[in-house]
Structure formats: structure tokens, C-alpha cells
Structure 1
């Protein structure tokens, strides 16, 4: 008897998905060895994703009707292009669902959103040790931006800079 291919589906998340989104974020954080950094609460996510001014959007990927992954994204803006961009903050597929094409379907859905919204680019960051993800992105046609490095202010350094009032 031949096995049937799994049914893959992508849908926008709703406020009812907040506990699922938080769980998927926790699973991603474990995979990235960053569980200590995943401190977002359901209330944080509900406010930031579904409040008056949503900061980001989420797609839920399902395999045979069961949640198996997510993509969290938001818009940026390119001064050079004069267009907004789509930035993928997180992409995660549960290990049991890997290899069936869900990640590729999530990425294609994001690319369609970028095209539909007239974005000039679709970009993301990936941890340099994550060879499986890097290989996946290369197979999709992504190009590394080796001349650029990510810079970050957070915690005390962010607050110290914000407290400066000199002109």
C-alpha cells in the first residue's frame, strides 16, 4: 500500500494562537541553545502581535492539520530602494515535521507576501553555526551578505544611550 504525502497548509495566526506561538518560540530557543533568552509571555505576544499597533505577523505551518512550524516577520524600509522590505525574524519547523517541505512552503508564502506588498527585499539572519539552515536558504537562492554585520544595543547599553540628552 502506497503512503500518501502529508497535507501541508499555511495560515495567518490569530490571537487564539498565542499559546502555540509562545510554545513554538520556546522550541526554537531550545534548538538555538538560547532558552534563557526566550522570556516573552503570552501577554507580550498578544499585545505585540494582535494589539492596536501590531509589531509583527505570524504564519502557522501545519502538517495534516497539526501545527508544525511558524514564521514571524515584520516590515523594514530601504532608503536606497525607497520601498519597504520584509524581514523574517524567526522560522522554525518542529523536528518531527522536517523534510516534508513545510519550511519551503513557509518561505514561499513569505516571498508571495513580499511581492504582493511591493517589498524591495526579503531578508533574515541565521546563526553562523546552523549549517542545515544555511544550506536550506542557499537551495532557495538566498545570498549571504558577508560585507554586513549585525549590530545590537540591548539592556543597560540601550538604556544608557537613551538617557543621553546631549545634542
Structure 2
């Protein structure tokens, strides 16, 4: 556990699912992506705690309420021939931004990556979110200018799978 001014960071447990889902919706609103938000408690529970979990999560609890979360999973680098840690989401409610909680999350995740012998720790950031870019750079991260996320989803995914 990590303690930052009356806030504790800990591993998520199944009882956190509802509050995590609400925080995830807040993030979707912040990123102006609610039209893509399809997460449900059942899907989130299965992803984090099901028979074959695909992700892990840390949560931040302040005065008995969840105020932030980080969802992460392992990826793999063929060049390093080692797994990496990929941060899917890091969210801290606006009232606690600037409190050191984001830094505490990143340090905790970096420690997990080191403990698990990961070759790298990576995540994405929206190009318009300069505050986050500045924060990540200050923490020692490099924003890679030459790489772009490539995504196939929805109908395009079905067409690709069918060979159409």
C-alpha cells in the first residue's frame, strides 16, 4: 500500500467494481469519449477477477471513497524478449489532482514493473492533454513522436477476421 496525505493506493478488489466503473465514466467524459463507453460491471469484473484475468488494477481510496484508479496489463517486446507493463488508464478525480496521487500511482506501477523484471513501462496520452504530457515528462517519461496507435474495432474488426 502507498499512503499519500490520507489517501491509500492498493490493489483493486471485486467490491471496488461499481466505484471503478463510475470513475471510468468520469474519465470518458473528460476525454470526450462517452460515445465509446460500453464498460459494464460484469465485463470489468471478468477482466480483472475472472477465470483468465486480462488486466490488473490499483485504486486510490480517500476517506473511504475511491478517487482514482490505474488499470494495467502485460505486453511483450520481441526486441527485448521481455514483457513490459502497459498502463491502460490512470485517473485521479479533479479535486485531488496536484496532490501527489498521480506521482504515487506511477511510482507504484514502476516498482511493479521492476519487481516483475519488465523491460519497459509504457502508456499513451492524448495529444491535446498538455498537462498530462508535461506531468509524464517531468516524471522521466519520453513521449515518442514517431509512433501512432493503430486500431481495428467494430465492423472493421469483423471484416478483417472474416478476410473480407
Q: Deviation string for 1:12-33 (max 9, x for gaps)?
A: 0011111011011001001111
CA distance in 1, matches of 2:152, 2:56: 23
CA distance in 2, matches of 1:18, 1:66: 12
3-state SS of paired residue (1:142):
coil
Per the normalisation by structure 2, the TM-score is: 0.94
- Tell me if structure 2 keeps the 8 A contact 1:6–1:64: no
- Tell me if structure 1 keeps the 8 A contact 2:23–2:68: yes
Q: Which residue of 2 aligns with 1:123?
A: 122
In the TM superposition, residue 115 of structure 1 has moved relative to its aligned partner by 0.3
Q: Which residue of 2 aligns with 1:156?
A: 155
- Tell me if structure 1 keeps the 8 A contact 2:73–2:88: yes
Across the aligned residues of Structure 1 and Structure 2, the Cα RMSD in angstroms comes to 1.3
Q: What aligned pairs does 1:1-167 form with structure 2 within 5 A after superposition?
A: 6-164=5-163
Spell out structure 1 runs of 4+ moving beyond 2 A.
62-66
CA distance in 1, matches of 2:115, 2:62: 25
CA distance in 2, matches of 1:39, 1:70: 18
CA distance in 1, matches of 2:64, 2:105: 15
Structure 1 residues not aligned, in runs of 5+? none
In the TM superposition, residue 60 of structure 1 has moved relative to its aligned partner by 0.3
- Tell me if structure 1 keeps the 8 A contact 2:20–2:66: no
In the TM superposition, residue 44 of structure 1 has moved relative to its aligned partner by 0.6
3-state SS of paired residue (1:103):
helix
In the TM superposition, residue 82 of structure 1 has moved relative to its aligned partner by 0.6
CA distance in 2, matches of 1:23, 1:58: 15
Aligned length: 161
Structure number with larger C-alpha Rg: 1
